[in-house]
Amino acid sequence: MRLYTASFAVNPRRVKIYLVEKGLADAVEQVKLNMLEGEHRTPEFRTKNPLGKLPVLELDDGRILTESSAITTYLEALHPDPPLWGGTDPWRRAKVLEAERLAELGLLYPAGIAFQHTSPFFAKRMTQSADAADGARKQFAKFVHRFDGILASGQPWLAGDEFSMADISAICAVDFGAAAGCAPPAEDGHFAAWLERVRERPSCQIKKKTSK
């Protein structure tokens, strides 16, 4: 089993955190591609994913999965413990799916929009708009506030009492969005406390660059 990934991209990071939380980081071969050099868009790689996107999971028999949710759902079926997609309880599973979807649409998506409209990397690839970036930041803050209200009930994690894929997607969105000015509002204290809890997990810590 081989995972095609990248060092800094947000969706590959979701899968990498999942693997660490599952204790599978050493069990799945990880092949890092250099996205800045376009290694994910070569004709060879497009035979695995025609969209030229990461991550991609290639099974030993050659079958391919191309979306982070699909990849982690597949691995969850093979390795159900600890449950990160809610386990077998219908309500628990539904709440994880609900929270993860909110994190994806309300945090990851606007963070991506803000990044596209502010990053020099996209300056020559699209028409950037300061208004679009500002609107995305407001949408991001709106969903942070929504999660803050959910956490106000006393539950430690976004989908309940157990850490899940919802928390993984959300922390990736927060870290990714920071580069584009998507910041959790200071008044959302419950979300800030959640963020501190997430930062305590080794899988979710960001390695700091050291100067030579």
- Locate the domains of the chain by residue range: 2-78, 90-204
Contact 14, 21 (CB under 8 A): no
Question: Among the CATH numbers 1.10.10.10, 1.20.1050.10, 3.40.50.2300, 3.40.50.11740, which is that of 90-204?
Answer: 1.20.1050.10
Please state the rounded mean pLDDT for residues 142-160: 98
**Which residues lie below 8 Å from residue 103, measured CB to CB, with a gap of 6+?**
143, 147, 158, 166, 169, 170, 173
**Which residues lie below 8 Å from residue 163, measured CB to CB, with a gap of 6+?**
21, 84, 157, 201
CATH code reported for the domain at 2-78: 3.40.30.10
pLDDT, position 108: 97
Tell me the per-residue pLDDT of 48-78, one tens digit each, with 9 for 90 and over. 999 999 999 999 999 999 999 999 999 999 9
SS3 labels along 122-182: HCCCCCCCHHHHHHHHHHHHHHHHHHHHHHCCCCCECCECCCCHHHHHHHHHHHHHHCCCC
Tell me the per-residue pLDDT of 152-207, one tens digit each, with 9 for 90 and over. 999 999 999 999 999 999 999 999 999 999 999 999 999 999 999 999 999 998 76
Residue 129: pLDDT over 60: yes
Q: How far is the C-alpha of 167 from the C-alpha of 86, rounded, in Å? A: 12
Angstrom CA distances, 45 to 13, 35, 41, 96, 137, stand at: 19, 12, 6, 32, 33
**Which residues lie below 8 Å from residue 74, measured CB to CB, with a gap of 6+?**
57, 65
pLDDT, position 158: 98
Select from 42, 54, 63, 43 the least CA-distant residue to 15.
54
Q: How far is the C-alpha of 163 from the C-alpha of 181, rounded, in Å? A: 26
Q: What is the dihedral of CA 184, 186, 191, 193, to 10 degrees?
A: 130
